[in-house]
Amino acid sequence: MTGIEIVGLVKSFGATPVLRNVDLTVPEATLTAVLGASGSGKTTLLGIIAGFERADAGTVRIGGRVVVDGSRAERPQTRKVGYVPQDAMLFPHMTVAQNVGFGVPRGDRAAVAGLIERVGLAGFERRYPHQLSGGQAQRVALARALAIEPEVVLLDEPFGALDAALRESVRADVIDIIRASRLTAVLVTHDQDEALSVADSIALLDEGVVAAHDTPASLYLHPPTPEVAQAIGSANILDGSSSGDRVTCVLGELAIDRSSSLLDAADVRADSRSCRVLVRPEQLVLSRNATDEGLAGTVIRVRYHGHDALVDCEMASTGHLFTARTPAYGGFTPGESIRLSFGGGPVYIWV
Q: Is the pLDDT of residue 103 over 80?
A: no
CB environment 227-266: b (16+ within 10 A), e (fewer): ebbebbbbbbebebbbbeeebebbbeebebbeebbebeee
The predicted pLDDT at position 270 comes to: 60
pLDDT, mean of residues 292-320: 94
Checking if the pLDDT of 265 tops 50, the result is no
Q: Whole-prediction pTM value? A: 0.91
pLDDT tens-digit profile of 310-344? 999 999 988 999 999 999 888 899 999 999 999 99
pLDDT, one tens digit per residue, over 150-189 is: 999 999 999 888 887 788 888 999 999 999 999 999 999 9
Is the per-residue pLDDT at 112 higher than 50? yes
The rounded radius of gyration (Å) of the Cα atoms in the chain is 24
Could you report the per-residue pLDDT of 237-246, keeping only the tens digit for each?
999 999 989 9
pLDDT at 320: 94
Chain mean pLDDT for the chain: 92
Pairing of strands 273-279, 284-287: unpaired
User: Hey, what domains does the chain have and what are their CATH numbers?
Assistant: 4-80+150-226 (3.40.50.300), 234-350 (2.40.50.140)
pLDDT at 1: 52
Taking residues 4-13, report their average pLDDT: 97
